[in-house]
Amino acid sequence: MAELIANEDMKVAFSNSAGPPDLVYSGDQGIDLVKIVPTLDQKVKANGKKVATTATTITFTAATPCPHTSATHVFVAGAAVIQTSAQKVKASLVPVHRQGDSSLVGCIGSWTNISSGATVPCSCGVEISEAGQDKVKGE
């Protein structure tokens, strides 16, 4: 099925499935050269912006925290990789990212309880929620 091809204005959604009980989501995140890093094709563009290909690496640390916050826990770290799902559309011979592409494992990480110091594992579903453009689709 044809989906919108993701470009450098794409956004990634994080749906929490495990972690501290008081997590608050701050919203979908755009590309950040430290924590959300796609491979961008240097030649092919969709709606005037570079197309995302191959994989998007996501790395959160205490210095670059995830989009969730907690009043009772301190974020430690988390990581994920979103692979491309396009079967037919390529940019410079590699598959492109499309809206709806997701991480097979999700984002896996941990938090520390402020009071007890206990480590709490966390996980989130990770998906490209917005392609960054609404004109170019691919299968």
Q: What is the mean pLDDT of residues 116-139?
A: 97
With the C-alpha atoms ordered 55, 56, 60, 66, is the resulting torsion angle positive or negative?
A: negative
| pLDDT above 90 for 1 | no
Summarize the confidence of residues 109-135 as an average pLDDT: 97
Q: Express each pLDDT in 32-84 by its tens digit.
A: 989 999 999 999 999 999 999 999 999 999 999 999 999 999 999 999 999 99
Q: Are 84 and 54 in contact (CB under 8 A)?
A: yes
Kindly state the DSSP code that residue 22 receives in the 8-state scheme: T
Would you state the pLDDT for residue 99?
Answer: 98
| Residue 13 structure tokens | 């959604």
| Residues of the domain holding 48 | 3-138
> What domain count does the chain have?
1
Tens digits of residue pLDDT in 72-84: 999 999 999 999 9
* Beta-strand pair 11-18/119-130: antiparallel
